[in-house]
Amino acid sequence: MNPFACVASCEEKKFYQALQSAMPSQGLFAEKSWRQSPEPFFISEQLHAKLERLGALLHLFNKACDLLYRQSVAGKEPPWIAALLDRGKPKELIELARDKIFRGETSRVIRPDLLITSEGLVICELDQIPGGMGLTAWLQKVYTALGYEIIGGPEGMLEGFRSMFPRVQPGEGVDIVISQESAMYVPEMRYLVDSLTQRFPAIPWRLLDPEYQGTWASYVYRFFELFDRKNVACAPLLFSRAQAGEMIITPPPKPQLEEKLLFALFWMKPLEAFWRRQLGERAMGELKKMIPYSWVLTPEPLPPQAVYPQLEVQSWNEVAHFSQKQRELVIKISGFEERAWGSRGVHVGHDLSKTEWTLALQGALEEYEEHPHLLQRFHHSLVQSHRYFMSDTHIMAMPGRARLTPYYFVSEDKVTLAGGLATICPADKKILHGMSDSTLAPLALEKKACQIS
């Protein structure tokens, strides 16, 4: 037998049976599986407190990003900022994003992808349209019933989702529109809608496909990326109704807020005064500890006397010739493209040969006009052991790296941590996401868990 495997106890066998019997008939993901665990992912009270604070900080960051774009459009900040964030977007979508009716609106759900490193938490991405909400709601309910102190409690995700629509009246309803691109998430969103209907029966909740052309509710949750809007037949009607003030739609149709390039803008010296004004010294300092240093991959040459900060080189050609140790960097496509989600369009430098790295860098620079990319520091997440069910009779303790995804919901500027999910991937994986050999577990509180500074 594998030295990391053991026979499940009677209680663990009962736990496994409870997980299987509680699974919705349609499952939670289309054509996707994951490993189930006999326990949640435990976090310390210290880390829990840090996650509680993080939501308001990220909401403040989102609001600042929105203001930076608007002030760039208005000429109060450099115009190159809006020009950069608008690259590759059609004119009509840019005009829609700038409509005054969406002024100040940002996503009402915030989900950072967090790595646990030896230096603390690192935000590798900030997802404005996250999957996993239905799954996390199910995990909260099941693991709470089995006796664990789950972050958010048994209905945290349901309460959080409901809080995004504080002014909805009984009978008005909330519609969730999902695209074919997000078809994998249909089962979990169906579970979420069914659970919301049971929890808040006075509000009609509906999950609608992209072809729907009937009568709409007054509130809509957009569960599709803006690059995919042409494959969502009802999108033009939704956006026109929102522009006319006939409905509230969240996240707002602002593709600039879905760009990873915002992390690179955060680190730019010329914009330091803006971030300090909008975030404050303390919040800015906290974010600097968590947001990886990032650069925009632009083919425009630097002046002869200039270098890229921290890289201390004058051209990307020099970066292409970095040694493997120097290549602890990641290339990511920024947004508004199907490769920009689900860990596609990501190249980890020290995991590639020099030739592969050079080609990835050249390809990113060549796509700058339509699909900007960013270069980002790679941070190593800590290896820790977590158990999963091999079967109903055996359990494996797997050394792995965890990605934490807390879910925050915004209700009239009040931010609430509603729950969280841990994705524990095999230790040899560089990119952490929900692959079939990863373990998914809800976050739970334990006093003697690992401490994160």
Token pair belonging to 206: 């509906």
SS (H, E, C) 360-403: HHHHHHHCCCCCCEEEEECCCCCEEEEEEECCCCEEEEEEEEEE
Residue 305 lies in a domain: yes
Residue 176 lies in a domain: no
Residue 83 lies in a domain: no
For residue 303, count CB atoms less than 10 angstroms from its CB and return exposed for 0-12, middle for 13-18, buried for 19 or more.
Answer: exposed
Domain extent at residue 341:
293-377
Residue 340 lies in a domain: yes
What CATH number has the domain bearing residue 336?
3.30.1490
Residue 60 lies in a domain: no
CA distances from 295 to 116, 257, 291, 366 (A): 22, 17, 12, 16
Domains: count for the chain: 1
pLDDT per residue rounded down to tens, the chain (453 residues): 465 778 878 888 998 999 999 999 889 998 788 999 999 999 999 999 999 999 999 999 999 999 999 999 999 999 999 999 999 999 999 999 999 999 999 999 999 999 999 999 999 999 989 999 999 999 999 999 999 999 999 999 999 999 999 999 888 999 999 988 888 899 999 999 999 999 999 999 999 989 998 899 999 999 999 998 888 999 999 999 999 999 999 999 999 999 999 999 999 999 999 999 999 999 999 999 999 999 999 999 999 999 999 999 999 999 999 999 999 999 999 988 777 566 677 999 999 999 999 999 999 999 999 999 999 999 999 999 999 998 888 898 989 999 999 999 999 999 999 999 999 998 877 665 666 789 999 999 985 444 443
Residue 343 lies in a domain: yes
Residue 190 lies in a domain: no
pTM over 0.85: yes
d(CA 339, CA 417): 29
Residue 414 lies in a domain: no
Q: Is 101 left (phi over 0), alpha (psi -120 to 50) or beta?
A: alpha
